[in-house]
Amino acid sequence: MESNIKLITDDGLRLDGRALNEMRPIKIQTGVVEKADGSAYIEWGANKIIAAVYVREAYPKHAQNIDRAIVKARYNMSGYSVEERKRPGPDRRTMEISKVITEALESTIVLEKLPRAEVDVFIQVLEADAGTRIASLTTASVAVADAGVPMRDLVVGCTAGKADGKMVLDLSKDEDNFGEADIPMAILPRTKKIVLLQLDGKVSQEEFDEATSMMMNAIPRISEIQRNALMSKYNVEEGE
Amino acid sequence: MESNIKLITDDGLRLDGRALNEMRPIKIQTGVVEKADGSAYIEWGANKIIAAVYVREAYPKHAQNIDRAIVKARYNMSGYSVEERKRPGPDRRTMEISKVITEALESTIVLEKLPRAEVDVFIQVLEADAGTRIASLTTASVAVADAGVPMRDLVVGCTAGKADGKMVLDLSKDEDNFGEADIPMAILPRTKKIVLLQLDGKVSQEEFDEATSMMMNAIPRISEIQRNALMSKYNVEEGE
Amino acid sequence: MESNIKLITDDGLRLDGRALNEMRPIKIQTGVVEKADGSAYIEWGANKIIAAVYVREAYPKHAQNIDRAIVKARYNMSGYSVEERKRPGPDRRTMEISKVITEALESTIVLEKLPRAEVDVFIQVLEADAGTRIASLTTASVAVADAGVPMRDLVVGCTAGKADGKMVLDLSKDEDNFGEADIPMAILPRTKKIVLLQLDGKVSQEEFDEATSMMMNAIPRISEIQRNALMSKYNVEEGE
Amino acid sequence: MPMDSNAVISEIRKNFMLESIKNGKRLDGRPLDEYREIKITENFIPKSAGSAMVELGNTKVVAGLKIEQGEPFADTPDKGVILLNIELLPMAFPTFESGPPSEQAIEYSRVVDRGIRESKMIDTSKLVIESGKNVWMIFVDIDVLNYDGNIIDACTLAAVTALKNAVIPGSKLGEKDFKLPVNATPVAVTMWKLGDELICDASLEEEQVSTGRITVTMSEDNNIHAMQKGEIGEFSLEEIQKAIKTSSNIGNKLREKYFR
Amino acid sequence: MPMDSNAVISEIRKNFMLESIKNGKRLDGRPLDEYREIKITENFIPKSAGSAMVELGNTKVVAGLKIEQGEPFADTPDKGVILLNIELLPMAFPTFESGPPSEQAIEYSRVVDRGIRESKMIDTSKLVIESGKNVWMIFVDIDVLNYDGNIIDACTLAAVTALKNAVIPGSKLGEKDFKLPVNATPVAVTMWKLGDELICDASLEEEQVSTGRITVTMSEDNNIHAMQKGEIGEFSLEEIQKAIKTSSNIGNKLREKYFR
Amino acid sequence: MPMDSNAVISEIRKNFMLESIKNGKRLDGRPLDEYREIKITENFIPKSAGSAMVELGNTKVVAGLKIEQGEPFADTPDKGVILLNIELLPMAFPTFESGPPSEQAIEYSRVVDRGIRESKMIDTSKLVIESGKNVWMIFVDIDVLNYDGNIIDACTLAAVTALKNAVIPGSKLGEKDFKLPVNATPVAVTMWKLGDELICDASLEEEQVSTGRITVTMSEDNNIHAMQKGEIGEFSLEEIQKAIKTSSNIGNKLREKYFR
């Protein structure tokens, strides 16, 4: 992360015109993968990500947990999703992301309600534009709910970071590439408990507090978009 | 496939002296792999291919079909079999060929007669000279019969194609490389049903009909060579 | 193996000052990997190698031998252990070494005493300086004993070779690289039976006899170091 | 064709399906040669060099292009390179697994690729930057997001649409960006045998009941450029000839409707 | 955190451990934020370009460096390359397997790597031999020989020690060997949640009982350079803030003691 | 040695075999040091640069050479490259599997390779086209088509025959094709211990009963160039010395018969 490029203009706005604490637009839709037990599609800025969930008996038998479910999230990128063609298959970065997403989902799924089961969460990043891990987690958690898996709360993801010495909400691609720090975080809105948190770059303790408070403020709005996506499905279904 | 090279001479013959509807010589021999349940070796022009068959209980148990056999043909090329050294192991081309050969054999093996069994067909191309997939299938089907596996008919493979604008039977390497189309086909001679068919290149519907009729005419001769190979084995065995 | 470099000085000593039949110093210590059932660490010249042993029920069940143990030794090199960085994972050389070490250990472990068991021997070469395979086997056999696995005898490894036309004991890195032959050997000291033997280079039958007699003479000393390592552990334990 | 023991079709439904098809009508009401609703979303991935989402009923695929510079193959120094790959994503069907492509995915990729390649849709000789050293490489990645049958036709539609929209980033060499030179519009038409009938655009449950699959890819020159008999099963020569005629007819219709 | 059904902690011991920690003391007598004995053996592998063995109680890791010439990454032509890899050797714990690195090993590698990279410990711009063509590549290989908890902190200590000792073989280019230019000393401090408490330097059995892991890596500039919440479990914002303060304190102490 | 539970030798047959060998005769009537019928078909693969099929009784292997240009290894810039690989094809024996080479295949490859390499059979310094940049690379691929014991000897015979016939395609560089320069004829002789006896050219069932394998490869200089003790089992020094003498005798006979 290098700060050679000017990321905040003289009038205090960001290169894409957003205020420091302004999110990019978010749209979520459920029921997009017909064969899956649950699914959701998110457009978060220019990110396009689809998540599908299968709930099944864990296999082979000796891999089952007799008292709770196993969760496996797999974050995968399409060949055309990034600037340079991405080779198919997992790499070290996607494996780490799969792990932290899995652990965040495990923290909210009521695992004891699904003994012997495996909850497979497949995430496909069709177009990537900064913040894919938290956008993936946000949509995956809707897909898990869409599959009828019992959850204590929907997980909401968000990022903040530092650009040109200022703390900003929901990093853009340029801010991610040329900014000074990136802090992805995910929480359970009801209890405000943190289930995913990473940081890389350089931030003081005060800056960290500023970043988290920006994100805490943004979370209710994202949570509402998640809930509306799940609701609208039920509304339609009732209307039929 | 590019047609820059003259493939048909002025007297209407092909570069290797064959007439348009003339096959290369074919020789088949059974019982060449002593450890296997059945085996056969073919020389088709300069192609040299060996096939060996093992019939066994499918493993692991949960992979078994309780009411019929599983068939798995694997087409493999020796490092020295082609112009440039072939790296060991399957590639996309050999995996596709393995699949279409497997499906052709499955179409003629009486699968219900071998519940829970796996019929493993290993094909090794020792020397390749155009038409290896149909030569492989032709010899593999003899090896399957040699193993005593019940079949509705022996599969006979053949190719036709287009070279210098003319339809020709049993493509040579040059015709395969520089001709305008390649049509491998395999049938069950008794019913004339088609169990393998591929095409790539450029042919009109009339040309396609000409190609298939050339191949249909050639099939009985190949079928006879297969039957003689199987017979001669029994003759020898009786004589012992 | 090329002999362009002078390996024996005019006063008949080797480049590192050793006499022709002189070993490098050897130190062995047990109990170095706390989680393992048995372990040992060896410093043999500049070689630094650690071996750890796990004894467990073989898995999956169908891989068990109902009447004896399975032994699996895996020889592995750290990235920093050799001149050029070693990529992680097995290669053809390390797989061959794993095989001959496994077979040497199998020859001395009383396999029938551990039906259904698997004896996993993990060997990590932290620093390599010629003779790693026999140093590995020497320390692995101590680790196996440390794990309480019944053995007919401890295996002792050693090398001899040819440098500047002379037979020498316990090859140095230079002698290994630029000498004319390398003969790693391992025996069971009690019966003097050979359980590992390899050779590459060029030696006459007489030279071979000279090499093996050099090694046979060296073996009791190495054997004693092994025994002391195992003893000192028990002494300490008793003292506690 | 994916197998899923939980989703195996009951004998009753299977017989009902075959009976209905014998009478010229499918369970969803379609005539034998009619496609489900086709929805093509062009430029679905704005950042790619060309893209399309294609929906055939519930079957959903996305094709996206990346165009990079690279070395040509040694035996074709004066041609650009097209690399086409279909991923049957594990999200698309319960039994699809993560990992390297299955035999099925590879067969599908190669059939779609042959149709495009052999129809000479793309003039790869126009993709050379420096002979033998540097050419444009076109990566055509196609993801199957939901599997409800007839992947080959859907993927061919998606790849052809993406290629038709594709822009070569000549600006990276200080020249102008330019449209990929396109000479033909191949259309793959796949047919399945159910009883004695051939049907087009099979749904997954129709695929599971079928006894043989045949794909015929043709372009506006009315020549056959690729054929592939797939799956266990057998065809008579007459059935193949009929399949070719059907492909020609449907190919013309689809070309008229989606590629004018 | 490795799982081993044979080694699962009994409910009784678990409750005893939690009760004890609630009272500010751990089963081995340590206060909540105290590390086990730390033993650092510098230059453990003389042939490497830099190395260290670190023991945290029974946890034992070795870091070794190889420095070779190679091509820089295309997007950073004027920077050397640091590649860090942790191997959880199968000898280190009963359930660790041979083969490609597990998700756990990759996560640990990446967290250790981020702390070193983001603190700008190494000025990679000083590792360029010829811009865009040839740079020094530093391979940091870390082997975990025995796993008794707190791998991230042990590996960071080992890697930082090895890098501080590292010598670039400039003599291979006809120049002088020179010490690797070092600008900061990052220290990773990982904390685990047990009940409502946070503890440092967990042993394996403490890891197995914990409900959440958080790593905070800081350098002498008192800034945070890497954080990672790991494992199933949740933290309040206050707990995170407390973890940052603890990391700052302990980092300063360890830096004082081992890196002066 | 391949294991096949279905083919395991009964105790009765095993004892009968050992008893017979004790009396100097094997079940097929051969004396202890006699080979089965050896059949060598030279130039079996006309398109390769050199080839041979070797049959030792029912054991059947094919060696074929490809000779291509490539870069030399960094540490031997003035030497061509020989790469030898044995494939134990899954067709050759019921328990052989498809996939990457097994430990057994790798051991066999390396033993055959060492015999050829260390005897200096091929003068690789004559395979240099441009020092450090371009050399002839000789790929020696050996396929085991049927496994009935004694693979190392059969593969060495096949590789040596193929190399003796090999032609370097100098014409590709505008020069003349030329025979590969050959300086020695290594012969591998492998012996198995059955009871207290050593036998040569074991059949598969003899391999399965044996308690130890020893290979000695010598050339006409009567020096030992490769040795390999393989499989579980142990030898006395006297047995090894006897094996060396046997190898010397048999090597001379085979060299006389097949390589004059």
B207 sits in which H/E element: helix B205-239
Question: Which residues of A fall within a CB distance of 8 Å from E221?
Answer: 202
Question: In 3D, which of F156, F256, F199 has the Cα closest to residue F21?
Answer: F199
Q: How confident is the model at residue B235 (pLDDT cuts 50, 70, 90)?
A: low
Residue C171 vs residues A193, C123, C132, E30: alpha-carbon distances, Å: 62, 21, 11, 49
Q: What angle do CA F82, F85, F90 make, to 5 degrees?
A: 165
For residue A234, pLDDT over 70 is answered with no
Question: In 3D, which of B81, B127, B107, B71 has the Cα closest to residue D103?
Answer: B71
Maximum alpha-carbon separation in chain C = 62
Q: Say if the Cβ atoms of B33 and F148 lie within 8 Å.
A: no
Q: Which chains are adjacent to chain C, needing at least 3 Cβ pairs under 8 Å?
A: E, F
DSSP state of E171: G
Of the listed ranges C88-102, C224-238, D229-243, the one predicted with least confidence: C224-238
pLDDT score recorded for residue A233: 73
pLDDT score recorded for residue C233: 73
Which two tokens mark A18? Answer: 């957003």
Q: How far is E91 from chain A (nearest CA, A)?
A: 23
The region that residue B122 occupies, defined by phi over 0 for left and psi between -120 and 50 for alpha, beta otherwise, is beta
Average pLDDT by stretches of 10, chain D with 260 residues: 57 93 95 97 96 98 97 94 97 92 96 98 95 97 98 98 96 92 96 97 96 97 97 96 98 94
Of E194 and E1, which is predicted with more confidence? E194
Question: What residues contact residue D73 under an 8 Å CB cut-off, 6+ apart?
Answer: D79, D81
Interface contacts (B, D; CB < 8 Å):
91
Could you state, in order of their start, the residue ranges of all structural domains in chain B? 26-239
Residue environment code for B87-124, b if the CB has 16+ CB neighbours within 10 A, otherwise e: ebebebebbbbbbbbbbbbbbbbebeebebbbbbbbbb
Q: Give the residue carrying structure tokens 């029994």.
A: B234
Q: How far is D226 from chain B (nearest CA, A)?
A: 5
Q: Are A123 and A51 in contact (CB under 8 A)?
A: yes
Q: Are D59 and D86 in contact (CB under 8 A)?
A: no
Comparing CB atoms, the residue among A191, A196, A203 nearest residue E224 is A203
Which amino acid appears at position B147 of this protein? A
| Residue in A155, A194, A213 to test binding to E, most E beta-carbons within 10 Å | A194
Paired sense of beta strands A156-163 and A181-188, if any:
antiparallel
Question: Which residues of A fall within a CB distance of 8 Å from E244?
Answer: 205, 208
Which two tokens mark A110? Answer: 């009521």
pLDDT score recorded for residue C235: 62
Helix axes C205-239, F237-258, angle to 10 degrees: 140
Question: Which residues of D fall within a CB distance of 8 Å from A120?
Answer: 90
Tell me the three state secondary structure of residue E92.
Answer: helix
Q: Are B206 and D245 in contact (CB under 8 A)?
A: no
Whether the model pTM is above 0.90: yes
Q: Say if the Cβ atoms of F224 and C204 lie within 8 Å.
A: yes
**Residue A213, number of CB atoms within 10 A of its CB:** 14
For residue E61, pLDDT over 50 is answered with yes
Residue environment code for F132-154, b if the CB has 16+ CB neighbours within 10 A, otherwise e: eeebbbbbbbbbbbbbbbbbbbb
Residue F194 β-bridge partners: F197
Question: What residues contact residue F217 under an 8 Å CB cut-off, 6+ apart?
Answer: F111, F114, F115, F118, F119, F156, F186, F187, F188, F189, F224, F225, F226, F227, F247
Rounded CA gap, F226 and B156, in Å?
A: 49
Q: F20-33 pLDDT, tens per residue?
A: 999 999 999 999 99
Interface contacts (C, E; CB < 8 Å):
92
- Which homologous superfamily does the CATH classification assign to the domain defined by D11-258? GHMP Kinase, N-terminal domain (3.30.230.70)
Q: Say if the Cβ atoms of D147 and A83 lie within 8 Å.
A: no
Q: C156-179 pLDDT, tens per residue?
A: 999 999 999 999 999 999 999 999
- Residue B101's Cβ-side half-sphere holds a number of Cα atoms within 13 Å equal to 31
pLDDT score recorded for residue B233: 73
Helix axes B205-239, B132-146, angle to 10 degrees: 30
For residue E160, pLDDT over 90 is answered with yes
For residue E63, pLDDT over 80 is answered with yes
Rounded CA gap, E21 and E32, in Å?
A: 7
DSSP of D89-135: -GGGSTT--SSSPPHHHHHHHHHHHHHHHHTT-B-GGGGEEETTTEE
Rounded CA gap, F42 and F60, in Å?
A: 14
CATH 3.10.20.90 fits A26-239, yes or no: no
Paired sense of beta strands D81-88 and D128-130, if any:
unpaired
Q: Say if the Cβ atoms of C85 and E62 lie within 8 Å.
A: no
Q: How far is C240 from chain F (nearest CA, A)?
A: 40
pLDDT score recorded for residue E2: 55
DSSP H helix total and E strand total for chain B: 4, 9
For residue C238, pLDDT over 90 is answered with no
Of the listed ranges B53-67, B118-132, F120-134, the one predicted with least confidence: B53-67
Residue D164 vs residues D63, D115, D172, E6, E220: alpha-carbon distances, Å: 12, 15, 21, 60, 57
Mean per-residue pLDDT, C111-133: 97
Interface of A to D at Cβ within 8 Å reads 32-36, 39, 46, 48, 50-52, 54, 56, 74, 76, 78-85, 88-89, 120, 122, 124, 126-127, 129
pLDDT score recorded for residue C236: 52
Q: Say if the Cβ atoms of B199 and D229 lie within 8 Å.
A: no
Tell me the three state secondary structure of residue F75.
Answer: coil
DSSP of B83-95: SSPPPSS--HHHH
Which two tokens mark F84? Answer: 């030898």
Q: How confident is the model at residue B60 (pLDDT cuts 50, 70, 90)?
A: confident
Tell me the three state secondary structure of residue C218.
Answer: helix
Q: How far is A86 from chain D (nearest CA, A)?
A: 9
Q: How confident is the model at residue B62 (pLDDT cuts 50, 70, 90)?
A: confident
Identity of the highest mean pLDDT range in A55-69, C222-236, F72-86: F72-86
pLDDT score recorded for residue B1: 43
Q: F202-241 pLDDT, tens per residue?
A: 999 999 999 999 999 999 999 999 999 999 999 999 999 9
Rounded CA gap, B57 and F88, in Å?
A: 22
